[in-house]
Amino acid sequence: MALARLLASGSTSRPLMPSYTTSGSPPTLVAITAQPQAVTPRMGVADIAMSLSVNRSGSAQASAAVTVRDADGRPVPGATVSGKWSGLVAGNASAASASNGLASLVSPRTKKSGTFVFTVTGISLNGYTYQPSLNAESSDSITR
Protein backbone atom coordinates (compact mmCIF):
# COMPACT_ATOMS: atom_id res chain seq x y z
CA MET A 1 0.00 0.00 0.00
CA ALA A 2 1.46 3.37 -1.03
CA LEU A 3 1.47 6.16 1.54
CA ALA A 4 2.01 9.87 0.86
CA ARG A 5 2.76 12.47 3.49
CA LEU A 6 2.05 16.17 3.16
CA LEU A 7 4.93 18.30 4.34
CA ALA A 8 3.49 21.83 4.62
CA SER A 9 5.29 24.92 5.83
CA GLY A 10 4.73 25.37 9.55
CA SER A 11 2.67 22.19 10.00
CA THR A 12 3.33 18.58 10.86
CA SER A 13 3.18 15.94 8.21
CA ARG A 14 -0.02 13.93 7.99
CA PRO A 15 -0.94 10.88 5.92
CA LEU A 16 -3.01 11.21 2.77
CA MET A 17 -5.00 8.43 1.20
CA PRO A 18 -3.79 8.34 -2.40
CA SER A 19 -5.31 6.23 -5.12
CA TYR A 20 -3.03 3.35 -6.06
CA THR A 21 -2.89 0.01 -7.71
CA THR A 22 -1.36 -3.06 -6.20
CA SER A 23 1.67 -3.90 -8.24
CA GLY A 24 3.83 -5.61 -5.74
CA SER A 25 6.23 -2.67 -5.66
CA PRO A 26 7.32 -1.14 -2.34
CA PRO A 27 5.42 1.87 -0.90
CA THR A 28 6.48 5.27 -2.25
CA LEU A 29 6.81 8.37 -0.06
CA VAL A 30 5.91 11.59 -1.88
CA ALA A 31 6.75 14.98 -0.40
CA ILE A 32 4.38 17.82 -1.31
CA THR A 33 5.49 21.27 -0.21
CA ALA A 34 2.88 23.99 0.25
CA GLN A 35 4.09 27.55 -0.18
CA PRO A 36 2.31 30.19 1.92
CA GLN A 37 0.90 33.02 -0.17
CA ALA A 38 1.76 36.54 0.89
CA VAL A 39 -1.29 38.69 1.49
CA THR A 40 -0.72 42.39 0.91
CA PRO A 41 -2.73 44.57 3.30
CA ARG A 42 -5.19 46.91 1.58
CA MET A 43 -5.92 50.52 2.53
CA GLY A 44 -8.33 53.28 1.59
CA VAL A 45 -9.85 56.61 2.62
CA ALA A 46 -12.10 56.36 5.68
CA ASP A 47 -12.95 60.08 5.79
CA ILE A 48 -12.12 63.51 4.40
CA ALA A 49 -12.87 66.36 6.83
CA MET A 50 -12.72 69.83 5.33
CA SER A 51 -12.05 73.11 7.16
CA LEU A 52 -11.47 76.71 6.17
CA SER A 53 -9.30 79.45 7.60
CA VAL A 54 -9.22 83.14 6.67
CA ASN A 55 -6.32 85.38 7.72
CA ARG A 56 -6.50 89.10 8.60
CA SER A 57 -5.93 90.17 5.01
CA GLY A 58 -8.97 88.16 3.88
CA SER A 59 -6.99 85.38 2.19
CA ALA A 60 -8.65 81.97 2.60
CA GLN A 61 -7.10 78.51 2.70
CA ALA A 62 -8.88 75.15 2.87
CA SER A 63 -7.59 72.07 4.66
CA ALA A 64 -8.44 68.45 3.93
CA ALA A 65 -7.88 66.01 6.80
CA VAL A 66 -7.77 62.58 5.13
CA THR A 67 -8.05 59.49 7.35
CA VAL A 68 -6.34 56.37 5.96
CA ARG A 69 -7.42 52.97 7.31
CA ASP A 70 -6.70 49.38 6.35
CA ALA A 71 -9.40 46.91 5.31
CA ASP A 72 -9.94 45.99 8.99
CA GLY A 73 -10.50 49.63 10.00
CA ARG A 74 -7.12 50.20 11.67
CA PRO A 75 -5.26 53.51 11.09
CA VAL A 76 -2.38 53.33 8.62
CA PRO A 77 0.54 55.55 9.70
CA GLY A 78 3.23 56.64 7.23
CA ALA A 79 1.07 56.44 4.10
CA THR A 80 1.61 59.21 1.55
CA VAL A 81 -1.73 60.69 0.49
CA SER A 82 -1.71 62.47 -2.87
CA GLY A 83 -4.48 64.66 -4.19
CA LYS A 84 -5.49 67.68 -6.19
CA TRP A 85 -7.28 70.91 -5.40
CA SER A 86 -9.87 72.21 -7.85
CA GLY A 87 -12.80 74.59 -7.95
CA LEU A 88 -11.75 77.91 -6.46
CA VAL A 89 -8.04 77.00 -6.54
CA ALA A 90 -5.86 74.54 -8.44
CA GLY A 91 -2.86 72.53 -7.39
CA ASN A 92 -1.45 69.22 -6.23
CA ALA A 93 -0.73 68.27 -2.64
CA SER A 94 0.68 65.34 -0.68
CA ALA A 95 1.26 64.55 2.98
CA ALA A 96 2.15 61.57 5.16
CA SER A 97 -0.38 60.11 7.57
CA ALA A 98 0.38 60.31 11.31
CA SER A 99 0.09 57.47 13.84
CA ASN A 100 -3.71 57.96 13.88
CA GLY A 101 -3.88 57.58 10.06
CA LEU A 102 -4.59 61.30 9.54
CA ALA A 103 -2.90 63.26 6.72
CA SER A 104 -3.49 67.04 6.51
CA LEU A 105 -3.33 68.72 3.12
CA VAL A 106 -3.71 72.46 2.57
CA SER A 107 -4.82 74.41 -0.48
CA PRO A 108 -3.25 77.48 -2.05
CA ARG A 109 -4.57 80.75 -0.57
CA THR A 110 -7.06 82.99 -2.36
CA LYS A 111 -9.13 86.12 -1.69
CA LYS A 112 -11.89 84.95 -4.04
CA SER A 113 -15.16 83.36 -2.92
CA GLY A 114 -16.32 79.96 -4.11
CA THR A 115 -15.88 76.25 -3.43
CA PHE A 116 -12.62 74.48 -2.60
CA VAL A 117 -12.65 70.85 -3.80
CA PHE A 118 -10.10 68.23 -2.72
CA THR A 119 -9.85 64.85 -4.50
CA VAL A 120 -7.60 61.97 -3.43
CA THR A 121 -5.61 60.71 -6.43
CA GLY A 122 -3.58 58.03 -4.66
CA ILE A 123 -2.18 56.60 -1.44
CA SER A 124 1.16 54.81 -1.24
CA LEU A 125 3.04 52.90 1.43
CA ASN A 126 5.53 50.06 0.99
CA GLY A 127 3.89 46.74 1.82
CA TYR A 128 0.32 48.05 1.26
CA THR A 129 -2.01 48.26 -1.71
CA TYR A 130 -4.27 51.28 -2.20
CA GLN A 131 -7.74 50.01 -3.03
CA PRO A 132 -10.07 52.88 -4.05
CA SER A 133 -13.12 50.61 -3.64
CA LEU A 134 -12.46 50.76 0.14
CA ASN A 135 -12.88 54.57 0.10
CA ALA A 136 -15.80 55.90 2.11
CA GLU A 137 -15.31 59.02 -0.03
CA SER A 138 -12.73 60.14 -2.59
CA SER A 139 -13.53 63.84 -2.77
CA ASP A 140 -14.95 66.57 -0.50
CA SER A 141 -15.53 70.31 -0.65
CA ILE A 142 -16.07 73.42 1.42
CA THR A 143 -17.45 76.78 0.32
CA ARG A 144 -16.21 80.20 1.36
CATH of the domain at 125: 2.60.40
Q: What does the pLDDT look like over 44-65, one tens digit per residue?
A: 999 999 999 999 999 999 999 9
Structural domain harbouring 83:
42-143
Find, among 79, 85, 84, the residue nearest to 129 by Cα.
79
Q: How many structural domains compose the chain?
A: 2
Same domain, 112 and 90: yes
Q: Are 71 and 59 in contact (CB under 8 A)?
A: no
Same domain, 19 and 59: no
Supply the pTM of this predicted model: 0.75
Q: Locate the DSSP E strands across the chain.
A: 4-8, 14-16, 31-34, 42-54, 60-70, 80-87, 91-96, 102-106, 115-124, 129-130, 139-143
**What is the average pLDDT across 38-43?**
92
**Which pLDDT score, from 0 to 100, does residue 84 have?**
98
Q: What is the DSSP letter of 132?
A: G
**Which pLDDT score, from 0 to 100, does residue 22 have?**
61
Same domain, 23 and 54: no
**What is the average pLDDT across 101-130?**
98
Same domain, 90 and 50: yes
